[in-house]
Structure 1
Amino acid sequence: MTFDIITKHAFFFLLSTLAIISPIVQAGDPDIISDFVLPPNATEVNGTFFTYTTLRSIVSNPQPATSLTVIKTTMAEFPALNGQSVSYAVLLYPPGDVNPPHTHPRSAELLFLLGGGLEVGFVDTTNKLYTQTLKAGDMFVFPKGLSHYQYNPDSNNSAVAVSAFGSASAGTVSIPMAVFATGIDDGILAESFKTDVATVQKIKAGLTPPPPKP
């Protein structure tokens, strides 16, 4: 499978937008008291301010990802989203790759699978796991703030999805990185996970990018 499915299904971007504006926008960002929020020192605005073109290349010249690729469209990349309680992400999954467990503290996530297949799941506050196998055209909602993941089990074909968020800046907390790559003492982690320091250090080494070659 190639990523020409993005071109064939580009209109689903619009479908996703219409699907998420009403139900998800209610949770997340505070209301604003103006039609939109301008950047500091802006005195004049036109239609260009409300247009984001960075994703054109994904549709016009799609390329298979060699590693998990998440292309975010939040208010950091698209300032017109500030105050609008909505944002996007395009996710490209190579064969056999995983988007590790993570959370979005400020929004639910509505994932729409454009092509390929995914195994997805989230864990609620009672530690119950909810899983599903998705096919192209399926949607799945990850509730706000709950730990969740996506996995492409196909060893030959890629997958591509679009995620919509009810926040202009939903935030992402990677659980492996938050636990093992933020300086928490090895002894504390070893005690917390009922293991030894050597195991903790091995996990940390696996999460740390190798130094650049000279």
Structure 2
Amino acid sequence: MAGLPSVLLATCTALLALAAPSLAGDPDMLQDLCVADYKSLEGPLRLNGFPCKRLENMTANDFFSDMLSLPGNTGNPVGSAVTAANVEKVPGLNTLGVSMSRVDYAPWGMNPPHTHPRATEILFVLEGSLGVGFITTTGKLFARTVCKGGVFVIPRGLVHFQKNNGGVPAVAISAFNSQLPGTQSLTEAMLAAFPMEPTDVLVRALQIDGGAPVHVV
């Protein structure tokens, strides 16, 4: 009986070690197919995915999209556009734990600092040259130039960015190990929350004066 606590501790440790890989992405699927049935949703609440269509109602089109073939509109202040092929756009991705995005960059445009809380990203530069980087939780910056044909990996949940290094448009394709990676822009999180964050919080966090609150529309 004296050794029982040690046995329990070892067992718990082993179980935690086995469970750790499941934290790296979406939960594993338990069936061959689970095409998202958008029509059966009666409210915004869902648990790790959409309800499944009945097998007889599935078609090949549920697994197809040509949306990444079209360039996004980069005529905006930051000079970039993200086109996401995730489970909300491609129903066949439901429960598969993967998705992709196309990012178009105007000359000298950038994809501002943001995070994907639910996925690791691997970015492939299709055209042009990008400055790409991410920042660790200890404040270490990993950044470099990635030219056409190169890839760059961004660990899950870390703040990262891309900027076009040239005077011509650039294009990149990103792959994620989540059907819905989520994107949180740092600027919008700080300045465009609703209701607004308290001004004194922003003043102290950003080390600015206490004038009129700044709000991004």
Choose the corresponding residue for 2:201, options 175, 178, 188.
188
Does residue 1:90 correspond to 2:102, yes or no? yes
Corresponding position of 2:62 = 49
Deviations 1:26-79 (A, max 9, x none): 8210112111213346332232221123334x2xxx687433110000000011
Corresponding position of 2:189 = 178
Corresponding position of 1:80 = 92
Determine the C-alpha separation between the residues in 1 that align with 2:207 and 2:23: 41
Determine the C-alpha separation between the residues in 1 that align with 2:29 and 2:191: 38
Secondary structure at the aligned position of 2:24 is classed as coil
Structure 1 pair 199–124 and aligned structure 2 pair: CA distance change class (3 A):
farther
8 A contact 2:35–2:62 mirrored in 1: no
- For 2:174, the aligned partner's letter is S
Structure 1 pair 144–199 and aligned structure 2 pair: CA distance change class (3 A):
farther
- For 1:158, the aligned partner's letter is P
Does residue 1:141 correspond to 2:153, yes or no? yes
In the TM superposition, what is the alpha-carbon distance from 1:25 to its structure 2 partner?
A: 10
Choose the corresponding residue for 2:24, options 22, 27, 42.
27
Choose the corresponding residue for 2:179, options 168, 191, 204.
168
Does residue 1:104 correspond to 2:116, yes or no? yes
Unaligned runs of 5+ residues in structure 1 are: 1-23, 209-214
Higher RCO by CA contacts (8 Å cutoff, separation 6 or greater) = 1
8 A contact 1:26–1:166 mirrored in 2: no
Unaligned runs of 5+ residues in structure 2 are: 1-20, 41-52
Secondary structure at the aligned position of 2:29 is classed as coil
TM score, norm. by length of structure 1: 0.76
8 A contact 2:125–2:146 mirrored in 1: yes
In the TM superposition, what is the alpha-carbon distance from 1:92 to its structure 2 partner?
A: 0.2
Structure 1 pair 191–26 and aligned structure 2 pair: CA distance change class (3 A):
closer
Determine the C-alpha separation between the residues in 1 that align with 2:127 and 2:84: 18
Determine the C-alpha separation between the residues in 1 that align with 2:22 and 2:80: 27
Does residue 1:36 correspond to 2:33, yes or no? yes
Choose the corresponding residue for 1:115, options 98, 103, 127.
127
TM score, norm. by length of structure 2: 0.75
- For 2:202, the aligned partner's letter is L
Structure 1 pair 121–79 and aligned structure 2 pair: CA distance change class (3 A):
same
Corresponding position of 1:157 = 168
Deviations 1:102-158 (A, max 9, x none): 00011111000011110011001111001110110000000000000001122x201
Pick the structure with greater CA Rg: 2
Give the length in aligned residue pairs: 176
8 A contact 1:106–1:145 mirrored in 2: yes
Determine the C-alpha separation between the residues in 2 that align with 1:167 and 1:64: 25
Structure 1 pair 64–139 and aligned structure 2 pair: CA distance change class (3 A):
same
- For 1:129, the aligned partner's letter is L
